[in-house]
Amino acid sequence: MFRMLIDRAAVVIGVMLISSAAFAGPGLIQYQGRLTDPAGNPITTPVSITFTFWSAVTGGTQLGGTYYDTDTVTPNSQGLYSTMIGDETGTKIPDVIFTAPQVWLNVKIGNENLSPRKQMVATAYSFQSNYATTATMALDSKDTLANVAARGASTSTELTLSGGVKTGSISAATTGGSVQIEDVALSEGAIKLPPITSPSNVSGKLYQAGQMLYWYGIPVMLTRGTAYVYVSTTPDPGANGLNLRAAYSYAKTLKPHGKDLSTSNRLTVLVPPARYDLTAAQLVLDTQFIDLVGVSTARHDQFLYARMSTNGASLLRQTAGDVRIENLFLEGTCNAVLPTPTSVYYPDSGTTQTVIRNCEFSPIDQCVSMAFYVDYPGRYENCKSGRLSFGYHGRASGTYINCETGNLSFGSHSYASGAFIECSAGNSAFGYHGTANGSFDRCTAGYYSFGYYGTASGTFRDCSATNSSFGSYGTASGTFQNCTAQDASFGGYGTASGTFLQCNAGNSSFGYYGTAGGKFTNCTAKEYSFGSMGTAAGGVFTNCSGRNYCFGHAGTANGTYENCSAYSYSFGGGSETKAATASGTFRNCKAINSSFGSAQISTHPKCTCSGLFINCVADNYSFGAINSDNSGARLQGCRVNSTWAGYWGGRMDNCWIGSGIVCTATARIYGSTFIGSINLNNTAAGVTQSRCKALMNYGSNVFGATPAAAMIIADGDVQ
C-alpha cells in the first residue's frame, strides 16, 4: 500500500496551462510528490503512475474521453519525484478537459488509486522570462463576463476598461504599462471569458487571442486566485519589496475557497523571479496557514535582501506557528556590531508546524543567518545557511533533511534533539557545548561537534566529523554506527560509555584520559585510544584495533577484549610516570612491546598483570614483565615472540615464550615451551610437562624434584 504526500501538484487552468514551479507550456502539467510506504519510509524504487481527469472527487465522468498519461518515476532518497503530465508525443492534455466546471486529477500508483482525487485549481503563470514588461490581472471568487460588463466594460469584441479607480470594479493603473484588474471571471477554478478578437487598436484594451490575455498588447499575468496571491514585480527592487509586503497584507484579508484559513485550507503568496529590497521594513509572517513560495525552484531567482543596522532586526520575521516557506534566497547585511545581532531569519520559539524547503539564508558582514536563543522545531528540507543557524544557544528540535550550514549551528551551545538526515555543518555544530541527543543519519561536521564538551547521547549512523567530536570533553553515551572522527573524539577526554559499531577515530579517542566503558565492535583508532590514560577501560571490545598506548595504557584495562590488536605499551602497558593494570579478559588479542600489564623499563612505576589471557600474542616485555606484579595473571595458549624479562608468579597453560623465565613461589606453569632457561629460583614454584633449553634451581619444584618427575624436558635445541 502506498502513502502519498503531495508537496506540489500545481496546475494552471485554461489560459494558464503550466506549472507554477517551472514553464511547461500549453497542454502540460508539472506534477511533484512524495511516496512513502505505510510506515512512512520513503519509496525509492521505480514506480508506474497513471494520471486521468474526472468530473467529481468520487465517481463522476472521465474527462477528455479515454485520455490518460502513464509515467514511470524513480523517487530520490527521500521519496521525492517530479514528472510531466502530457509530455509524450501525441498525448498533450486536451483543452476540452478544462471546460468542465470542476476537474479532479486521479493518480494511480501501480494498481492502486489514491484517494481522494486532487482538485485542479488555478495558480500562477509568469511571463517574466519572455517579456520585459508585464501587466497583472487579479482574480477573486466567482464572477461572470456579464457582471464585468455591468460594471462598465464592453463585451462585443473586446473588454474596454472604464476610467478611474472604482472599488469592486475593473480599475486601471497604466503607469509603466501595468494594470490591476479586480474581480474578473473565475468559476470553480476556470476562467469564464468567451473568445475575443484582437482589436485593431490595442490602446487601453484588455483582449484575448488564442489562449492568451493581453493588455495594451502585453501578456497579462494572473495575480490572485481562490488560494493564492501573486506578487507584482517591476525592475525596481525597492518597489518589489513594497509589493511583497502589500501582497502578504492583502492575502490576510482573503478566505480561500470561501472558507476560513486552516491546515487543510491554506493560502499561498507566490513570489515570482525578481529582486526584492526589504531594507525599508522587514517582512513579518504573522498569520497561520499563509505560505510564502517562490515560483522558480532555482531559489536565487527569488532574491530577497535587506541592509540592516537596528539592534536585533531581521529580514524575515515569523510569529505565526504554521507557515511554509519555499524556493527563496534571503540575504542580510549589517556593517555594525550590535548587542543583539541582526539576522536573516527570526522565528518565534515553538513554531512547531513551520516547513521550510529549498531556501538559503545568507548573512554578510556582522549579520547572522538565524536568531539566537530560539527553538527550531519545524521541518527543514534542502536548506542552506551560514554560521549560527538552527538553534545557536537555543534548540534544534525539528526535522532537518539535506540541510547545509556554517559554524556553530544545529543546537550549538545547547541541544540538538531533532532528526537530522544528510545534513552538514562547519565547526562546533550539532550540540557543541551542549547535548546531541537526537537522531543523526549521514551527517557531517567539522571539529568540536556532535556534543563536544557535553553529551553525545543520541543515535548516530554513518556520521563523520574532524577533531574533538562525539562527546569529546564530555560523554559519548549514545549509539554510534559507521561513524568516523579524527583526534580526541568519542569521549576522548571524557567517557565513552555508549555502543560503537564499526567506528573509526584518530589519536586520543574512545575514552582517552577518561573511561572507555561502552561496547565497541569493529572499531579502529590511532594512538592513546580506548581508555588509554583513563581510570578504567571497562568496556566490551570485539575486533577492535589501535596503535601505541591503547586499551588502558597507563590506566586500567579491566574490560573484555576479543580479537583486538594494538601496538606497543597497550592493554595496560605502563608509562614513564604512571602504572597500569591489565585485569580484564583478553581472548585472541595481539600487541607488540611492553603490553598486557607490563612496565616499559625497570625504573618505571610497577604495573599489574592480573587478567585472563587466552591465545594472546605479544613481542618483548609483555604479560607482566619488567618488574611488574603478575601473580594474579592466567595465560592460556599465549605467545611472547621474543624477550620476557622479570619474575613470573602467575599461571601459564600451553604457552610459548621466546626467552627464559625466573619464577616466584606462586608460579604455576603447565605444558609450556621456553626458548631459554626456566629458573625456579629455589622456591615452591611449580612447572610440569614443559620444555626449555635449561632447567635451573628446581629442587623445590612442587611437581617433582627432578626433571623426570616433573616431566620437564631440558634441551638446548628447544625451539
Report pLDDT digits (tens) over 275-284: 999 998 899 9
Q: SS3 letters for 321-336?
A: CCCEEECCEEEEEECC
pLDDT band at 149 (very low <50, low <70, confident <90, very high): very low
Specify the 3-state DSSP secondary structure of 544. coil
Cα angle 167, 170, 171 (rounded to 5 degrees) comes to 75
The CATH number of the structural domain formed by 3-119 is: 2.60.40
pLDDT above 90: residue 588: yes
H helices present in 467-621, as ranges: none
Paired residues of 36 in beta bridges: 3, 42
CA distances from 224 to 139, 185, 266 (A): 5, 12, 14
Q: In terms of pLDDT, which residue wins out, 580 or 542?
A: 542
Element (H, E) at 326: strand 324-326
Percentage of the chain modeled with pLDDT above 90: 51
Over residues 46-74, the pLDDT tens digits come to 999 999 999 999 999 999 888 888 888 98
Mean pLDDT of 671-675: 96
Across the range 628-635, mean pLDDT stands at 96
What 3-state class would DSSP assign to 339?
A: coil
CB atoms within 10 A of CB 41: 10
Element (H, E) at 35: strand 29-36
Q: Helix, strand or coil for residue 634?
A: strand
What is the CA 409 to chain-centroid distance, rounded?
A: 12
Query: How many whole angstroms separate alpha carbon 573 and alpha carbon 626?
Result: 11
The candidate with the shortest Cα–Cα distance to 557, out of 595, 524, 592, 603, is 595
User: By three-state DSSP, how is residue 99 classified?
Assistant: helix
Cell of 658: 621466546
- Residue 270: partners with Cβ closer than 8 Å, 6 or more residues away: 20, 123, 124, 228, 229, 230, 231, 293, 294, 295
How far apart (Å, rounded) are the C-alpha atoms in residues 560 and 547? 18
**Torsion sign, CA atoms 161, 164, 169, 170:** positive
622: three-class secondary structure by DSSP? coil
Bridge partners (DSSP) of residue 29 are 85
Q: C-alpha 566: how far from its chain's center?
A: 34
pLDDT band at residue 467 using 50, 70 and 90 as cut-offs:
very high
The predicted pLDDT at position 184 comes to 38
Segment (H or E) for 239: helix 237-251
Q: Which of 288-292, 348-352, 664-668 has the lowest mean pLDDT?
A: 348-352
Higher pLDDT, 370 or 224: 370
pLDDT of residue 322: 95
What pLDDT band is residue 162 in, cutting at 50, 70 and 90? very low
pLDDT beyond 70 at 136: no
Report the pLDDT value the prediction gives residue 421, as an integer from 0 to 100. 97
Percent of the chain with pLDDT over 70: 80
User: Would you identify the CATH topology of the domain 227-386?
Assistant: Pectate Lyase C-like (2.160.20)
Residue with cell 606453569: 669
Model pLDDT, residue 567:
95
Output the pLDDT for position 382.
Answer: 97
| Mean pLDDT, range 469-481, rounded to an integer | 91
Greater confidence (309 vs 89) lies with: 309
Average pLDDT along the chain:
81
Q: Which residue has the higher pLDDT, 507 or 352?
A: 507
Residue-level pLDDT at 206: 53
| Closest listed residue to residue 371, CA positions, set 401, 392, 400, 399 | 392
Strand partners, 694: 677
CA dist., res. 8 & res. 297, Å (int) = 11
pLDDT at 146: 37
Q: Enter the C-alpha cell of residue 678.
A: 626456566
Assess whether pLDDT exceeds 50 at residue 144.
Answer: no
Tell me which residue of 559, 505, 561 sits closest to 534, measured CA to CA.
Answer: 559
Question: For 337-364, what is each residue's pLDDT tens digit?
Answer: 999 999 999 999 878 899 999 999 999 9
Element spanning 267, H or E: strand 267-271
The candidate with the shortest Cα–Cα distance to 307, out of 363, 265, 359, 268, is 363
Check: pTM over 0.85? Answer yes or no.
Answer: no
pLDDT score, position 200: 59
Position 166 pLDDT exceeds 60: no
User: In angstroms, rounded to a whole number, what is the distance separating the alpha carbons of residues 704 and 689?
Assistant: 11
CA distance 523 to 546: 9
Enter the C-alpha cell of residue 336: 555594525
581 contacts 601 by C-beta, under 8 angstroms: no
366 to 36, 315, 386: CA distances (angstroms): 42, 14, 12
How far, in Å, CA of 270 to CA of 623, rounded?
Answer: 74
**Lowest-confidence region among 402-411, 535-544, 614-623:** 535-544
Q: Is residue 201 scored above 70 in pLDDT? A: no
pLDDT tens, position by position, 517-543: 899 999 999 998 888 876 656 789 999
For the cut 50, the answer to whether the pLDDT of residue 599 exceeds it is yes
Question: Are residues 15 and 207 in contact, defined by beta-carbon separation less than 8 angstroms?
Answer: no
Cβ contacts of 35 within 8 Å, gap of 6 or more? 2, 3, 4, 5, 42, 43, 47, 75, 79, 81, 109
- The Cβ of residue 81 has, within 10 Å, a number of other Cβ atoms equal to 21
Pairing of strands 415-416, 435-436: parallel
Starting at the edge strand that comes first in sequence, how are the strands of the sheet with 360-365 ordered? 274-277, 302-307, 329-334, 360-365, 384-385
End-to-end CA distance of the chain: 70
Place of cell 471568487: 141
Q: What is the pLDDT of residues 202-255, one digit of tens each?
A: 554 555 454 445 544 544 444 445 677 878 788 899 999 998 998 899 889 888
| Contact present, 408 and 388 (Cβ < 8 Å) | yes
- With a CB cutoff of 8 Å and minimum separation 6, the contacts of 654 are 636, 637, 670, 671, 672
- pLDDT of 331: 98
- Does residue 167 surpass a pLDDT of 80? no
Contact call for residues 544 and 523 (beta carbons, < 8 A): yes
Residue 21 banded pLDDT, cuts 50, 70, 90: very low
460, three cell numbers: 548516530
Distance of CA 431 to the CA centre of its chain: 14
Residues in contact with 517: Cβ distance below 8 Å, sequence separation at least 6, in sequence order: 495, 496, 497, 511, 531, 536, 537, 538, 539, 559
At 510 the pLDDT is 87
Select from 135, 215, 224, 173 the least CA-distant residue to 207: 215
Is residue 524 within 8 A of residue 543, CB to CB? The reply is no
CA dist 612 and 624 (Å) reads 12
Those residues whose C-beta lies under 8 Å from the C-beta of residue 619, and which sit 6 or more positions away, are: 568, 591, 592, 593, 640, 641, 642
What's residue 217's pLDDT?
53
Residue 187 scores a pLDDT above 90: no
pLDDT band of residue 308 (cuts 50, 70, 90) is very high
Dig out the grid coordinates for 198 from the structure.
Answer: 484582437
Contact at 8 Å (CB) between 270 and 123?
yes
Task: Quote the pLDDT of residue 679.
Answer: 96
DSSP 414-477: SEE-SEEES-B--SS-SSTTSEE-SEEES-B--SS-SSTTSEE-SEEES-B--SS-SSTTSEE-
Which residues on adjacent β-strands are paired with residue 209? 212
